[in-house]
Amino acid sequence: MLVPPLLSAAPMHASQYKTEQVGMAQSGAHTMLGGTVVPLKEVSFSAQMPGRVEFIAGVEGATFEEGVVLVALDEDDLLAKRRAAYAQYMKAQAAFRNSRVQYTREVYSGSHMESENTGMAIPKMFDRYMTRPFSDMVGADNSEVTRRAQIWDSGTRIDQARAQMMQTQAALQELDAKLRDTRTIAPFHGTIVQKHVEVGDTVQPGMPLLQFANIHHLQIKVEVPARLMPGIKKGMSIPARLDVGGTLIETRVAQVFPMADPQRHTVTVKLDLPSNVPGGPGMYAEVMIPDVTSPGDQVPAIPASAIIWRGSLPSVYVVSNGKMELRMIRRGGDTLEGGKVKVLSGLQVGETIVINPPNGLAGSWDAGSGEQKAP
């Protein structure tokens, strides 16, 4: 669709400006799709433990290195429980050491050699050397079986003490994990892009805390219809236009998702943006996706030097019947050989344009007087 002329002028001298007829170029079919600028890395942190927010590292826009604490919850209650659990662990450890000592004593001396009522020296000797051997002889008792049973019992007490120690150690590890969950650590160098809580807020598990992203490396995320996917390959360059000032840039296909959305029948594609581009996450962008299923058509092509930028709008001076007029155009994203660009609308093949307009040329010109007139 042609854009109507903005300005008209009187006849101009042919020698004053260089002119050229609008040529023609083969244009492959493209489809313009809207996308969103997203960070290369982005994480959303949520509370893992109930508690009160005690510390937040900064506000939106603050940048932090990897490993920095971003959010901390009150941990006094957990620390008290950990001290109690550590006391139980030390008690279990002492019981374990004592059980090993008692086992060693049982192996090398044996409590079966002593009865509960042995009395003084003579009765004790009589019991050890007369009573017990006589009991073994008449079959009333078997000292060897008794000794093995007592050793086995001592070994069982070691196992029980070890299990108790391991149980208290596991309780300590559980509390340590909960203490770690009270702190949110930056997983990479990035920036806080949104806070959901403030210091003093009480949170429950699952409540969002903040969003953290690497906004120094940006991408465009676009949903591409499945029919256009044959024209997209990883690593290829695709022209895109950012919503900030209509900036036209070249992007690179970084990731193509392996399956299409079963509801919308589109495939998610991410394209890397060059560094230091204007704008940021969440902004709108347009991506020119090639359509290899369409044969394409012939479009006008003009030198890039003929384009005048009025703000974010490209325009050219068109010469018609000895007069020239300023006309807005919509240019394509591809740059052709010889420094020419495609014109998607606003010009027709065969029209004459000024290819070297000076920067101050804006308004109507009368070739006879050489004076510029107000538009």
- The predicted pLDDT at position 113 comes to 46
Please write the tens of the pLDDT for every residue from 138-194. Answer: 555 566 677 777 778 788 888 888 999 999 999 999 999 999 999 999 999 999 999
56-71 mean pLDDT: 94
**Phi-psi label, residue 254: left if phi above 0, alpha if psi -120 to 50, beta otherwise:** alpha
What are the pLDDT digits (tens) for 186-207? 999 999 999 999 999 999 999 9
Distances (CA, A) of 265 to 31, 70, 215, 234: 16, 39, 29, 20
Residue-level pLDDT at 99:
87
CATH number of 41-73+182-213: 2.40.50.100
Q: Of the segments 203-212, 323-332, 350-359, which one has the largest average pLDDT value?
A: 203-212
What is the pLDDT averaged over residues 103-112?
72
The pLDDT score that the predictor gives to residue 373 is: 45
Residue 268: beta bridge partners?
223
Name the range with the highest mean pLDDT among 32-41, 149-158, 298-307: 32-41
Q: Is the pLDDT of residue 362 over 90?
A: no
pTM for this predicted structure: 0.57
Domains 1-28+296-375 and 41-73+182-213 are alike in CATH topology: no
Least confident span in 138-147, 215-224, 295-304: 138-147
pLDDT value for 1? 37
Q: What are phi and psi of 194, to 5 degrees?
A: -160, 135
- Residue 65: count other Cβ atoms within 10 Å of its Cβ: 9
Q: How many CA within 13 A on the CB side of residue 319?
A: 21
> Looking at the domain 1-28+296-375, which fold is it?
2.40.420
Question: Of 23-32, 280-289, 333-342, 361-370, where does the model show the most confidence?
Answer: 280-289
Q: What is the pLDDT of residue 131?
A: 60
Give domain limits for the chain.
Answer: 1-28+296-375, 41-73+182-213, 77-181
Rounded Cα distance between 344 and 297, Å, is 11
Q: What pLDDT, on a 0 to 100 scale, did the predictor assign at position 150? A: 75
Q: How far apart are CA 229 and CA 33, in angstroms?
A: 13
- The better pLDDT of the pair 11, 220 is held by 220
CA–CA separation, 3 vs 327, rounded Å? 7
